[in-house]
Structure 1
Amino acid sequence: MIARLENLRKSSVVFGHLTGLTVAAFDALAADVVPAVEAAHKKALERPNRQRAVGGGDDFDLSTADQVLLTVIWLRQYPTNEVLGFLFGVSDSTASRARTRCLPALEQAGRDTMRTPDPGTARRKRLPALLAGTPGLAVVIDSFEQRTPRPKRRPRAYYSGKKKAHTLKSQVAVDEESGAIVDVSDSVPGPWADIKRLKKSRLMKRLPKGVGGIGDLGYVGMGELHPTGLGAAPRRKPRGKDRPPEDRKYNRAFSRRRIVVEHAIGRLRRFRAVAHLNRHPRPRHAMRVRAIAGLVNRMLKHRAS
């Protein structure tokens, strides 16, 4: 029972290493998530087709706050159920049920932290002449891949030639000004082209008026997906020719705008549930990424305050 909340509070350093959050940030998270988990559990107990009366059966071995803590530690460290149960003094099946209860609420809490830039209040960047044709207010878009076991059905659909492995791809959009994650797409097979994933997500059409998008070479042509053409990507090298010096300067300046999304993906992948080999059902992969994105956003907000 060494990983119970009342014990971990005594060491902020250990708490931070296990969860990726400060104690204060976790308390703020628990204040939002615990009522949602309890409300969802109550709704499940009161469903019309339930065979057992409410109150029947054994009590859950963990408090709701400890269940949330268990789920956050699982996202950060990605241990097996046996290890997770041992840390909390419960069985592996109890640890698994706690994760199943809390993950949807953490996903929703993550969605609640995602806010696209407001053109009415955010400051537009003062761009150099080189980047005058790019959006002054933009979200920066990129994707990352996570290895997954070889599927039994349609394995070639998930084989990424780039990673030389079977993978799942997640698209992330980041507020250029704050570095906060503003959108996480549904996960798709790794071989999907970035521009195809962007088109399928309809993110460019969901951006507020006056907000554009910028991406890397995988997003060439993204401006065509925006209602007013607010999209930009680096310049490709002309086929069979040397790259013009002005293109080198442009791409270097463009990369300085894009670096914010690389940092955001780095923060996401410090959580091993999206960095190590995926061991869980593929359809729930996006739920985990959104839950982690919410934790990353909360830490950014906590540090800024």
Structure 2
Amino acid sequence: MIARLDNLRQHRVVFEHLTGLTIAAFDALVRDVAPVVEAGHRQKLNRPDRQRAVGGGDHFDLSTADQLLLTVIWLRQYPTNEVLGFLFGVSDSTASRVRTRCVPALAQAGRDTMRMPDPGAARRKRLPAVLSDTPELAVIVDSFEQRTQRPKRSQRAYYSGKKKAHTLKSQVTVDEASGRIVHVSESVPGRWADIKLLKRSRMLGRLPDRVGALGDLGYTGIRDLHPSGACPRRKPRGQERPPEDRKYNRAFSRRRIGVEHAIGRPRRFRSLAHVNRHRRPGHALRVRAVAGLVNRMLDHRAKAA
């Protein structure tokens, strides 16, 4: 039972390495999410088709706070159920049931932290003249692929030529000003093109007025989908790249690089970096849960600054 919350509170550095959150940020997470987890459990107990009386069956032997801690550690470190159960003093089946209960609540909490930038409150950026055709206020859109176990069916659909493996692709949108994640798409097979995923996600339709979207070369054609969309300029086929295009792409990269680290923050959680061992339909829930944890940590640091 070395990973129970009361024990880990005494080891601040270990807690942060295990969860990616400070103790204060985790306490705020428990205050917000624990009531949702408990309400969902009560609803399940009181369902009309339940045959066993309330109170029957096995118990978790974990408080709601410890259940959330177990799930956050799983998202951050991605251990097996056997390891999780050993750390928390429960069986591997209990660890699995705890995750099944808590991940949807964390995913919904993650959705609640995602807010598109406010054009009225955001600070305008002074852009170089070469970027005069790009929006002053923008979100950065990018995608990442996570390797997954080879599916029994539709193997070709999930095979990514870029990664030379079967993958799942997720699209993440980040507020350029704050670095917060403002949108996460549904997960799709890794074979999908970035621009196709952007269309399917309908993220551009949620952008406020006077807020644009910036993408890399994978989003060539974004301006056709949104008047304030922009991406680097492609090299003309069979020709040298014009000097003005080099200047434009260099300035464009400087603008994007500031949030590349923000886009990479979710990948520090090993549940999104290691080979996916779990059901593909639940992948988007895990990405949103991690995005919510990342946003909470950013908000906590902003308040502490």
Interval containing the TM-score (normalised by the shorter chain): over 0.9
Question: Residue 274 of structure 1 is aligned with which of 259, 272, 278?
Answer: 272
**Cα offset, 1:57, TM superposition:** 2.6
Q: How many residues align?
A: 303
Tell me, yes or no, if structure 1 residue 285 matches structure 2 residue 283: yes
Aligned to 1:250: 248
Give the secondary structure class of the aligned counterpart of 1:247.
Answer: helix
How far, CA to CA, are the matches of 2:182 and 2:265 in structure 1?
Answer: 14
Pairwise mapping of residues 29-40 of structure 1 onto structure 2 (< 5 A)? 29-40=29-40
Please say if residues 174 and 263 of structure 2, whose CA atoms lie closer than 8 Å, have aligned partners that are also in contact. no
User: Which letter maps to 1:290?
Assistant: R
Please say if residues 81 and 96 of structure 1, whose CA atoms lie closer than 8 Å, have aligned partners that are also in contact. yes
Give the secondary structure class of the aligned counterpart of 2:135.
Answer: coil
**Cα offset, 1:261, TM superposition:** 3.9
**Cα offset, 1:210, TM superposition:** 1.4
Give the secondary structure class of the aligned counterpart of 2:99.
Answer: helix
**Cα offset, 1:244, TM superposition:** 1.2
Please say if residues 140 and 260 of structure 1, whose CA atoms lie closer than 8 Å, have aligned partners that are also in contact. no
Pairwise mapping of residues 21-170 of structure 1 onto structure 2 (< 5 A)? 21-170=21-170
**Cα offset, 1:260, TM superposition:** 3.7
**Cα offset, 1:124, TM superposition:** 2.1
Structure 1 residue runs of 4 or more that deviate by more than 6 Å after TM superposition: none
Pairwise mapping of residues 226-241 of structure 1 onto structure 2 (< 5 A)? 226=226, 229-241=227-239
Please say if residues 232 and 248 of structure 2, whose CA atoms lie closer than 8 Å, have aligned partners that are also in contact. yes
* TM-score, normalised with respect to structure 2: 0.98
**Cα offset, 1:206, TM superposition:** 1.2
Aligned to 1:171: 171
Tell me, yes or no, if structure 1 residue 210 matches structure 2 residue 207: no
How far, CA to CA, are the matches of 2:101 and 2:141 in structure 1?
Answer: 31
How far, CA to CA, are the matches of 1:159 and 1:186 in structure 2?
Answer: 18
**Cα offset, 1:5, TM superposition:** 0.2
Give the secondary structure class of the aligned counterpart of 2:275.
Answer: coil
User: Which letter maps to 1:300?
Assistant: L
**Cα offset, 1:262, TM superposition:** 2.0
User: Which letter maps to 1:281?
Assistant: R
* TM-score, normalised with respect to structure 1: 0.98
**Cα offset, 1:123, TM superposition:** 1.5
User: Which letter maps to 2:237?
Assistant: R
Give the fraction of aligned pairs with identical amino acids, expressed as a percent: 78
Post-superposition Cα deviations, 1:56-111, rounded to whole Å, max 9, x if no partner, equal 23332111100000000000000000000000000000000000010000001101
**Cα offset, 1:126, TM superposition:** 1.3
Unaligned runs of 5+ in 1: none
Post-superposition Cα deviations, 1:240-270, rounded to whole Å, max 9, x if no partner, equal 1111111111111101121244212321111
User: Which letter maps to 2:68?
Assistant: V
How far, CA to CA, are the matches of 1:79 and 1:245 in structure 2?
Answer: 50
Please say if residues 193 and 218 of structure 2, whose CA atoms lie closer than 8 Å, have aligned partners that are also in contact. yes
Unaligned runs of 5+ in 2: none
How far, CA to CA, are the matches of 2:163 and 2:13 in structure 1?
Answer: 35
Q: Which moved more, 1:182-191 or 1:48-57?
A: 48-57
**Cα offset, 1:294, TM superposition:** 0.5
